[in-house]
Chains A and B, each alone.
Chain A
Amino acid sequence: MHHRTFGGKVFEGVNHLFLAACALLCIFPIIHVLAVSFSGSTAAAAGQVTLWPVEFNLSSYKYALNNPQFLTSFLVSLERVALGLSVNMLLTIFAAYPLSKERSDLYGRNAYSWYLFITIIFSGGLIPWYMTVKQLGLMDSVWALILPGAVPVFNVIILLNFFRQLPKEIGESAFIDGAGHWTILSRIYLPLSKPALATLVLFTCVGHWNAWFDGLILMSSPHHYPLQTYLQTIMINRDMSLFTTASQEELKMLSEVSDRTLKSAQIFIAAAPILAVYPFLQKYFMKGIVVGSVKG
C-alpha cells in the first residue's frame, strides 16, 4: 500500500468519526428503549433513565408476555409475514422472469411493464382502496393485509433488472439442451439470483412486519390487529383534552396506560424478530448490491 498523504489520513479520520457518530445516533434510541424497559416505572416516569436501567427489574417483560392482546397480535403478525412473504415472492418471481425477456420473446412485454409501473406512480387513494377491499369481502381477514399488495412492483423491477444482467447465453444454451422455461427459471435463474432474492425477502419481511396502517383501517376488531397496529394504539399520543370530561373509571386507567417501561418492553419484543433476521440476510444484502454493480 502506498504511503498516504497527511490529507488522506485526516480525511479518513474525519470519515471514521462521522460514520461512528451516525452509527451512535442510530443505536442510541434503541439502547434507551432497552434501558427504560428494564427500569422501574417510577424512575422511568421521572425521566431518570438514559442508557442504563435504573431500579433494574423484569416486570414489564412479564406483563407484556402475559398480555393476551400482545400475544394474539404477535401471532397475527407472524401469520401475515409467512403468508405475505410466500405470496409476494412467488408473484414477484413469476412476474419478473417473463418481463426480463426480450420484447421479441414476450409479445406486449412493454405494455405489461407499463401496466405494472403505473401503479407505482398513481394510486387510487385511501377511500377507493378501502371500498375495494370492502366490496371484495376481505374486511377483517388476514388476506386484506396481503392481497392488496400481492405484487410488489418495486420488487419486481429490482428482480427483473437482476435477471436481465445474467448472461443471456446461459439461458439460451440450456434452451438448446432441451430445458423449458420452468427448468431455466428454477434451475438456473433462481440459484444465480440468491443475493437479489435474499434482499427482497428481507424487504418483504420488514415491510409486512412493520406495516400498521392497513391493519387499523381494514380490521374490524382490535383482536385481529397485527402487532405494529396494536403497538401504535398504545404508543399514540393521547389527546389530553378528552380527559377533561372522562369518567372516573377511565381516569383510573390513565396511570396504567402511561407506563413507559411497559411500552418500551413491548416495542423491544416487537423489534427483536427483525433484529434477529437482519444479521443472517445482511451478507446477501451487501453482496447483492456489489454483484449487481459489477455485472452491470
Chain B
Amino acid sequence: MEKKASYPQILTTAVLTAAILVLAACSGNHTTNKESNPSSQASQTSNDNTGDAADSTAEIAKGKYDSPITVTSVMGLSDQVQKSVAIKPDVVNDNIWTRGYEKDLGIKIKYLWTVPGAQMEQKMNVAISSNDLPDIIPANPRQFKMLVDTGVAMDITQLFDQYASDFTKKMMEADKNIGLNQATVEGKLMGIPQLNGAIDAASMIWIRADWLKNLGLEPPKTMDDVIKIAEAFTKNDPDRNGANDTYGLGLLKDLTGGFAGLDGFFEGYHGYVNGWIDDGSGNLVFGGIQPPIKSALAKLAEMYKNGYIDKEFSVKDTAKVAESVTAGKVGMLYGQHWNPFYPLQDAKNKDPKADWQAFPIVSIDSVPAKPMINGSAATFYVVNKKMKNPEAAIKLYNYFYAKDPAISPDFAPAYHGKNGEQEKIPDQNYQLATMTSFYPQQNLFIHQSVNKYFNEKDQSVLENYWVKDNVEQIENYKAGDNKLWSGYAWAGPDNSAFNVIEFYDKNDRFLQNGYIKADTESTTQKGATLNQMRSETFTKIIMGAAPVDEFDAYVTKWKKLGGDDITREVNAAK
C-alpha cells in the first residue's frame, strides 16, 4: 500500500519539474519585438554641469537620459576586483564607473550577482538554464550561441550603427571588424564584442638566452636549429652544473595551448592543429588532420626518444611544467606573450641568471612559418530582448571606449586606475566597468612606443599613460628590481614578446584562422570526444607507443566520428 503511495509523489514531482522547464522555455521565447523606441534622441545633449569635457561627453553618450533609467547586468570579477571587494564590499555597485554612468549618461547599474571570474562560466550556465538573466549578459562564445538560439539575444544591427560613437567605430575599424563579424549570426549583429588583440595570440619560442650563450649557440633560424638547440640543451649541460638534469623542449600533457604547447612547433611544419585552412578551392578544411601534422609528430617522436622532451610529459599539467621551468630544468618552449608573467617570472626570481627571451617561430623549409591567429573577442555582451532601453548598452560601451583607452581624446586616467594603487583607491579600476573592450593593437602600440623611448630617446611618447607606466617599470627593472622583469620581457626593447609580434606584423606573417565563429552543433556534441581521441593518439605517437602511421587511422576515425559533419557545418556557417 505504502509503496504505491510513492508513485503519485514521483508523478507530481515529474509534472511540476516539466512544467517549470516549459515555463522557463516559454518566457525565454517570449519576444518583445516592438521596435525599440529610443527615448533619447541623438540630438539630445547632456547638461553643461557634466564638466569641462561636456561637448565630447555629449558625443560619447549621444544623449543623457533625463530621468535616470536602471540597467541590470552581472559581473565576473577579475582577481584585482576581488581584492577591491574585500577592501570595500560595495565597490562593484559604487565606483568611478557607476558614478560616471549616472552623472554623464543617466544610467544606474544594478548587478544581479557577481562571481569570481574563474567561476563565471558555471554561474552563467545556471542563470541561462533558469532564464534568470539581466539586461546586459556577458557571455562566452558557447553561451552566446545558446542565447542566440533560444531567442534571448536582441538583434542590435541598427542600434549599433545608430548609437556607436565615432571613436567606437574607429576601434571596430582597427579590429578590421573581426570582433563584429564573430558576433554576427546570419547577417544580424546579436551581441557586442569585447575586443582584445587577436594578434597577441600568436605563438613564439621562449628560449633561455643564457644557456645559448653558455653553449655558444645562436637563436634558431630554421626548424633544424630548434632541434639542435633542444639536443644541446639536453646533452651539453647548458646550466654548467655538471649534472645531466636538463631537457630541451618543455611540453605539457594537453599538447596545445599558450604555454609549453606544440601549436608553434606544428606551425613550423605549416600545420595548424586547431585551425581551419583554405584547401585552395575556397573550402575550409581542418588543419589538425593534414599531412604536415604527421611530419611534425614523427620529429617529436624522435625528439622524445632521444630524451629532448621530458619522459613524463604526458602527466604534466601547466603547474607541473611551470615547476620544471622554475627549477631550471627546461631551456626552450613554445608559448605566448603572457608567459613572462607566469611562470617565467618565477624562474627569474629563483635564478636571476635565467634569461628567457622570445623569438619568432621558424620554418622547416624556405616558406616562412606563419603563426595562426583567432578572433579578437572571447566575450560578447548580449542585449536581452526584454531590455527596455537597449540603446543604453551601446552608450555604456561607448563610455568605456571614451574613458579607458589612453589614445582616446576623452581618456581619464582615474577611470583606468593606477597599477598597484588599488588597495588605496579600490573604486578606480577599468575592470569595474559594466562593459569593457580594448584597442586591439594596444599591446603592440605600447611596445612600439616603449621602443621609441629606449632606442630613439623619444621623450614625447611618455605623454601616453600606458607607455609611461611601462617605461617606468622597465627603468626600474634595469635599475635592479628583478621582480619587474616580466614587464621588460613582455614589452621591452630587447627580444621581448612584443618584439616578436611586431616582427610578425611588419612581415605580414599572421595567418587568420578560417573559422572564428561560435562552435557549430556537431562541434558542441562531438568536439570533446574528437579532442580526446587526438590527445590520446598524438601522445602515443610522440611516446613511441604507436607508430607514426597511426596518424592515418586517426584521420579516418576523426572524419567518421563527426569530423565530416563539423567540416560541412563550418563551411556552411563561415
Contacts and interface: CB of A to CB of B under 8 A. Distances in A.
Contacts of A126: 126, 129
Contacts of A238: 118
A178 to B, nearest CB: 34
Interface string B417-459: 0010000000000110000001000110010000000000000
Give the one of B78, B82, B341 with max A CB within 10 A.
Answer: B341
B481 interface: no
Nearest to B113: A220
A244 B77 contact: no
B345 A124 contact: no
B55 interface: no
Interface string B480-516: 0000001100110000000000000000000000000
Q: By DSSP majority rule, is chain B's interface helix, strand, loop, or mixed? A: helix
B326 A114 contact: no
Interface string B336-356: 101001110110011000000
Given A45-B322, A122-B10, A130-B130, A255 B345 contact: yes
Interface in A123-179: 124-128, 130-131, 134, 140
Interface in A237-257: 237-257
Given A122-B10, A238-B118, A223 B323 contact: no
B122 interface: yes
B349 to A, nearest CB: 5
Contact of A217 (B10, B111, B123, B318): B123
B5 interface: yes
Contacts of A236: 118-119
B378 A45 contact: no
Contacts of A127: 21, 24, 126, 129-130
B126 A237 contact: no
A47 B330 CA distance: 14
A140 B114 CA distance: 11
Contact of A244 (B122, B323, B338, B487): B338
Given A110-B2, A242-B378, A252 B9 contact: no
Nearest to B201: A244
A45 B348 CA distance: 11
B86 A134 contact: no
A46 interface: yes
Interface stretch (A66-74, A187-195, A201-209): A66-74
Given A47-B323, A128-B17, A255-B342, A249 B419 contact: yes
Contacts of A124: 13, 17
Contacts of A232: 119
B161 to A, nearest CB: 26
Interface residues of A, number: 60
A234 to B, nearest CB: 8
Contacts of B112: 220
A246 B338 contact: yes
A128 B82 contact: no
A126 B571 CA distance: 36
A48 B2 CA distance: 62
Given A42-B326, A252-B341, A241 B79 contact: no
Interface of B: 2-3, 5-6, 9-10, 13, 17, 20-21, 24, 77-80, 82-83, 85-87, 89, 92, 111-116, 118-119, 122-123, 126, 129-130, 132, 196-198, 200-201, 257-259, 317-320, 322-324, 326-328, 336, 338, 341-343, 345-346, 349-350, 376, 378, 419, 430-431, 438, 442-443, 446, 470, 486-487, 490-491
6 contacts: A42-B350, A115-B9, A219-B113, A222-B85, A240-B259, A253-B79
Given A45-B326, A246-B196, A258-B322, 13 more contacts: A45-B343, A69-B82, A114-B9, A122-B13, A128-B17, A216-B119, A219-B113, A221-B92, A245-B200, A248-B446, A251-B342, A252-B487, A257-B79
The 6 closest A-B pairs by CB, nearest first: A245-B196, A47-B323, A69-B86, A220-B113, A46-B327, A254-B342
